Amino acid sequence: MIYVVTALPYEASPIIKKYGLKRDEACRHFPLYRADNMVLIVSGVGKLASAMATAYLLAQNMKHEEAKEEESLAVINIGVCGAVDQRYPIGTSVLIYKVIDHETGKQYFPDILIQHPFEEGSVETCNQVVRREDVLSSRVELQANLVDMEASGFFQAASRFLAPHQIYIVKVVGDHLDVVDFNGQRVTQCITGALEAMDELLKQVQKVCRVESDVLTPDERLQLGQVKQSLRLTVTQSHQLMDMARRYKLRTGRSLPDLSEFARTEVKVKAEGRKALEKIRRLLLYE
């Protein structure tokens, strides 16, 4: 599943169109859009808004335990930014390797482990709109070439849930800090221009962000679950059982032996369960 966070509806609309996302009317807190393998949230402007929306999106939707085998999990913040340096033409899309929070000075680093079609760079997230004259007069001192208002909030929230290689930030240069009138259409145009590259990125992301599949098949996990229940195993014993089962498969390369006999045994006292577990242990470790 790919989760997408944008600040503005203008940034979201080309993505919604390209991936055929549908509005989720059940969500009353944020504009939320879905397709089978993508969920997009529109956070509103600012790092706090971005952090809240990101946390909401991931907490509500990401259920690790239920993740289908081989499913990919990643979250992407895509949006426009300003560039200090004129060497970035309008429409340049940049994959971010470093986020600097202008107010706290903290730095954050996504892991970039994939080939991708973007330029790379760092972005500085500021609470206020930064103007060119602020930078030229040193009223605002920037460390990065790109400026936005969301990335640091987004990254902090996302990294509570995911590994740094599952978090991506794509910024498209929308201006050179010289915008007088906000123009939504221009924003939409910028994002539209980046979509082809984004599609390429998503393919790579899907590959590298696969959830590690378990050596145990769903059927085997089901049977082990029944064994745990009928033998009334404690939490520690349950862990031991799963551990032994996985190691059996790794060592022998075969599927688990039939444990249905144990799944049917209804034990009355804990000691019986312990005994049965010992039997399973011999079966799994010494074959």
Partner 1 sequence: MSKFSHIYIEEGATAYPVTQHVLSRFPRSIRVAIRHYKDVFNRPHQNFRRQKASPKLILAVKQEPFLYPGPEVCEDFGHPNFYYTSPVLNCIYDCDYCYLQGLYPSANIVIFVNIEDFFKAVDRKLESGPLYLCPSYDTDLLALEGIVPYASRWIEFAATRQDLVIELRTKSANYSAIAHLKPAEQVILAWSLSPGEVARRYERLAPPLKTRLTAIKAALQDGWQVRLCFEPLLKVYSWQHVYNEFLDEVFSILPAEKIFDANIGVFRMSKEHFKRISRMRNDTDVFAFPMVCCEGEVVTYEDEKELRDFFYQGLKRYLPEGKIYG
Q: Which residues contact partner 1 by CB under 8 A? A: 97-98, 107, 109, 111-115, 120, 122, 159, 162-165, 208, 212, 214-215, 243, 246-248, 250-251, 253, 285-286
User: DSSP assignment, residue 64?
Assistant: G
DSSP 161-190: HS-GGGEEEEEEEEESS--SS--HHHHHHH
Minimum distance between the CB of residue 243 and partner 1, rounded to whole angstroms? Answer: 8
Minimum distance between the CB of residue 4 and partner 1, rounded to whole angstroms? Answer: 20
- Using CB atoms within 10 A of its CB, is residue 97 exposed (0-12), middle (13-18) or buried (19+)? middle
Minimum distance between the CB of residue 184 and partner 1, rounded to whole angstroms? Answer: 33
Minimum distance between the CB of residue 43 and partner 1, rounded to whole angstroms? Answer: 22
> Toward partner 1, which CB reaches closer, 28 or 254?
254
> Toward partner 1, which CB reaches closer, 219 or 243?
243
> Toward partner 1, which CB reaches closer, 158 or 231?
158
> Toward partner 1, which CB reaches closer, 11 or 124?
124
> Toward partner 1, which CB reaches closer, 189 or 238?
238
Minimum distance between the CB of residue 116 and partner 1, rounded to whole angstroms? Answer: 9
Distance CA(287)–CA(281), nearest Å, equals 10
Tokens representing 118 are: 């973007």
Per-residue b or e along 20-37, where b marks 16 or more CB atoms closer than 10 Å to that residue's CB: ebeeeeebeebbbbbeee
Minimum distance between the CB of residue 211 and partner 1, rounded to whole angstroms? Answer: 11
Minimum distance between the CB of residue 239 and partner 1, rounded to whole angstroms? Answer: 10
> Toward partner 1, which CB reaches closer, 86 or 115?
115
> Toward partner 1, which CB reaches closer, 29 or 239?
239
Q: Cα dist. 147→67, 84, 99, 142, 282 in Å?
A: 35, 8, 10, 8, 62
Q: What value, to the nearest 5°, has the Cα angle with vertex 129 and ends 125 and 134?
A: 100
Give kind and range of the element (H or E) at residue 204.
Answer: helix 184-208
Q: Cα dist. 27→30, 39, 53, 57 in Å?
A: 6, 12, 12, 10
Give kind and range of the element (H or E) at residue 42.
Answer: strand 38-42
Give kind and range of the element (H or E) at residue 285.
Answer: helix 270-285
